[in-house]
Amino acid sequence: MEIRCPKCNTANPSDSRYCRECATPLPAAEKPAGSPTLTYETPREKFASGTVFAGRYQIIEELGKGGMGSVYRAIDKKLNEEVALKLIRSEIASDRMTLDRFSNEIKIVRKIVHRNVSRMYHLSEEKGIHYITMEYVPGEDLRRMLRMSKRMEIGTAISIARQVLEGLAEAHRLGVVHRDLKPGNIMIDQEGQVRILDFGIARAIKSEGPTEVGLIIGTPEYMSPEQVEGKEVDQRSDLYSLGVILFEMVTGRVPFEADTPFAVGVKHRSEKPPDPRQINAHIPEDLNSLILKCLEKDGAKRYQSAEELLSALAKIEKSFPAAAREDNTTSRPNTGKAFRRCRKPWKSTLILPWPGDRSPCPTATWA
């Protein structure tokens, strides 16, 4: 007997508690006695296009589902602008302490004003449904881009990582650690700008004190060893996660894979990551060393701040061959879809999938 993931529809063994593809808790999985692991059911609330929620937000389309709940693209009729509307699952919203943490985190996260961080607006409630409104970022998330292209050009990967680091540096300066940095939380908008999503979400659903046994906050493939162990984390945990993302962008795979989230976590804690150059010989030696330093088990051996890592990455980008920085379009995913080729100020060319959308870019050509 198989269990189908409610998020990505992947078939999983009957004894699975998490989806082997996206790590979403499986609704059919039973919670072991004494374990506070969160399991979620598919939300009953589903709004059709045109529905007006809370007398203010007109639904355009559903953008996706996750462990937190459903996310919709909507028009804020009061301000006449598009927003992302995240409905919080009732299992989470029923916890008063969790809602208080959400409220406190949003107050902090709203202070982050940076071109590479998506804004979070407010937490509210409508007829028992708790929701968060956020800046809507039109574009494609890095997870989908990686699924289509598998491996990115080196210059493109460096450019994306640099923009993520610029956003992280501002957040860390304000004392905010993301805690769940992963490709699904990194958007590339229609102008090629990188945006980090969902700051504060992981911390808001975290229990007080160290993480309890069985409660996983984050996505196993991108979690730092200290997160896996349930220890308190700081900015170096985000840098570890970015190291995993960089590894995936330039090799086409994550450093640690296993059949269960628990097994993945064990590998993050105890196994040495593979050498990226053994998978992709085209990775420059200095970038290879940078990735491996990000993936050090001991936080003291990693880069200590986003600024330090950003400086190291900038030196690599500067030394990268000019021709490669200027044109990173030598390979493209073979999907048959239209791709936009857009030159941006970071001196690289991104190939971005925009099915059905050819909104203008001043320096774009289509292929």
Nearest to 182 by CA among 228, 242, 256, 250: 242
Instruction: Tell me which residue of 134, 138, 49 sits closest to 354, measured CA to CA.
Output: 138
Residue 352 — φ and ψ, nearest 5°? -115, 135
**Dist. CA 354–CA 349, nearest whole Å:** 15
180 catalytic per annotation: yes
DSSP secondary structure letters along 299-322 = GGGS-SSHHHHHHHHHHHHHHS-H
The burial class, CB within 10 Å (0-12 / 13-18 / 19+), for 120 is buried
Q: How far apart are CA 200 and CA 206, in angstroms?
A: 10
CB proximity list for 358: less than 8 A, separation 6 or greater: 338, 340, 366
Q: Which of 172, 164, 256 is nearest to 219 (CA)?
A: 256
3-state secondary structure of 105: helix
**CA–CA dist 288, 316 (Å, integer):** 10
Distance CA 225, CA 268 (A): 5
What is the Cα–Cα distance from 139 to 354, expressed in whole angstroms?
A: 7
Catalytic residue among 141, 180, 198, 238: 180
CA dihedral 10, 13, 18, 23 (to 10 degrees): -40
Q: Which residues are catalytic?
A: 180
